[in-house]
Amino acid sequence: MTANSLSVRVVMSVVTYKRAIVPTLWPAGLGRVESGGFELQVSSDWRFIPETFDEVCDWATVVAHQDEDDNRRRGNYHIVYQPTVLPQDKHTKQIEVTVVLQGFLGDCNIGMLGNWNRKETSAVSAVQYLTLLSGGYTEIFEAQQAALDRLRLLVTTKWGAEVEETMAVNEGIRLRRPVFTMVRAYGPPVRAVGLGEATDPGAKARRLAKKWVVDHVIWTGVRRPNGDNMEVAPSSLQRGDFVEVTAFADVQVLRGKKGAGTIVHFAVMDVVKLWSVADLKNLERQTQLTFAQSSDGAGPSAVEQMPSRFLIGGKRGNMMDVQ
C-alpha cells in the first residue's frame, strides 16, 4: 500500500448538535457515553462531523479509489478526511470517513448472505440492510440524518451522483450493503470470507465463487456492564433494541448501456447493542420515559440492494493507529 493509498477504516467520527455529541443527548443515558470512549469536548478535527456544509468542505473531500491492491473497491469513490483535521503524522494518508450512529433498531437483515434468495441471478442485488428509528426523539435523530445529508451533498458537489432521498424522521435511517462482490478477470484476486455450512447452507454461495464472493463480515456485539463489547450472532439483535452503528459512504460507479452513473448509499460496518428491548422496558419503569419505537415507520420490509477491524465501542483514542 502506497503512502497515498486508502487506509484501513479504523477512524470514526461522531455527529454533533449545537456543539454537543449526539450520544450525550439521548435521555436516561441511552447513548452509554461513559463506556463509548467518546471525547466530549467538541473541536474542529476528524472526531466530530461539522454542523454546516461549508465546514464539511474543509473537513472532508471525495477521492477516486486508487489502491491497486484492492480490486473490490477500484473504480469507486470515497469520502476521506482532509489532512488538516488529522494528526500531523497522518497527513500523508487518505483515511476514509466513518460515522457513529445511534437509534432504535427497525427492520434488520445483516446475516452473512443478507436477503439473497439463493439464486445466481439475484446475487447482484442481494443486500444486508438495517434501519435505525428515532424512538420519538426526533430532534436528536434529525441531527444524525442532517449529518449524513451533508456528506451526501459533498459527493454530489464534487463528482455528481444520484442520491437516495433522505428518509423522513418517522421512517428512520436506512443503511444497506451489497452481499456479494464480483470476481473480475483482471487485477488481484478478491479476498473472500470463508463460508461453511452454518453460513451457507447447501453451499449455494460457494458454488458462485468463480463469479461472486462474500468479502466482508458485519461485526455484531453487545455492550456489557463493564464497558467491553462481546461478539454475538446477528440473529440476537431484536427490533426495538437501542444500538450503536458504524457506517461509511458506499459511493458506487455503475455502468450500463446508457453510460456510467454514480450512486451514494451508507453501509453498515459494525453494530453493537447498547440496550435490549427488556432493558428499555425496565428503564421506562424507572424513569417514566416512553421510547416510542411503535410510532416509527419500519422502513422498507425488503431492500433490494470490507472487513472491519474495529470493534465499535472501543476507545476512540486508540483508533488513529491506522496502517
Weakest-pLDDT range from 53-67, 135-149, 200-214, 216-230 = 53-67
Phi, psi of 173 (to 5 degrees): -105, 120
CB-CB contact of 190 with 216 (8 Å): no
pLDDT given for residue 288 in this prediction: 85
Instruction: Compute the average pLDDT of residues 167-183.
Output: 83
Weakest-pLDDT range from 83-92, 148-157, 255-264, 293-302 = 293-302
Inside any domain, residue 146: yes
For residue 16, which of 51, 44, 43 has the smallest C-alpha distance?
51
- If one compares 42 and 162, the residue with the highest pLDDT of the two is 42
How far is the C-alpha of 121 from the C-alpha of 112, rounded, in Å? Answer: 18
Residue 318 has pLDDT above 70, yes or no: no
Report CA 95 to chain centroid distance, whole Å.
15
Instruction: Compute the average pLDDT of residues 218-245.
Output: 94
Which SS3 state, helix, strand or coil, does residue 220 take? strand
The total number of structural domains that make up the chain = 1
Residue 285 has pLDDT above 60, yes or no: yes
pLDDT given for residue 256 in this prediction: 61
Residue 262 has pLDDT above 80, yes or no: no
Give the cell for residue 22.
449526539
Alpha helices in 112-190 (DSSP H): 138-158
Looking at residue 46, the DSSP 8-state letter turns out to be: T
Per-residue pLDDT tens digits for 138-152: 999 999 999 999 999
- If one compares 135 and 1, the residue with the highest pLDDT of the two is 135
Inside any domain, residue 190: yes
Per-residue pLDDT tens digits for 62-106: 988 665 444 444 457 889 999 999 988 888 788 999 999 999 999
Q: b/e map of 268-304 (b: 16 or more CB within 10 Å)? A: bbbbbbbbbbeebeebeeeeebebebeebbebbeebe
What is the largest distance, in Å, between two alpha-carbon atoms of the chain?
60
Instruction: Compute the average pLDDT of residues 252-258.
Output: 67
pLDDT given for residue 293 in this prediction: 56
CB-CB contact of 192 with 200 (8 Å): no
pLDDT given for residue 255 in this prediction: 64
Instruction: Name the average pLDDT for the chain.
Output: 81
pLDDT given for residue 169 in this prediction: 56
Of the pLDDT bands very low, low, confident and very high (cuts 50, 70, 90), residue 261 is low
Inside any domain, residue 70: yes
Inside any domain, residue 99: yes
**What residue ranges in the chain does DSSP mark as E strands?**
13-17, 20-21, 48-49, 60-64, 77-81, 98-109, 127-133, 162-163, 173-178, 181-182, 212-213, 219-223, 229-231, 242-256, 259-275
Residue 235 has pLDDT above 60, yes or no: yes
Of the pLDDT bands very low, low, confident and very high (cuts 50, 70, 90), residue 191 is confident
Weakest-pLDDT range from 172-186, 222-236, 248-262 = 248-262
Q: Are strands 173-178 and 162-163 parallel, antiparallel or unpaired?
A: unpaired
Side-chain-side CA neighbours of residue 251 (13 Å): 25
pLDDT given for residue 197 in this prediction: 92
Inside any domain, residue 2: no
pLDDT given for residue 37 in this prediction: 80
Share of the chain above pLDDT 90, in %: 57
pLDDT given for residue 99 in this prediction: 96
Looking at residue 243, the DSSP 8-state letter turns out to be: E
Interacting residues of 259 by C-beta distance below 8 A, sequence separation 6+: none
- If one compares 52 and 73, the residue with the highest pLDDT of the two is 52
Write down how long the chain is.
323
How far is the C-alpha of 28 from the C-alpha of 5, rounded, in Å? Answer: 42
Inside any domain, residue 323: no
Inside any domain, residue 97: yes
Residue 190 domain boundaries? 13-306
Inside any domain, residue 318: no
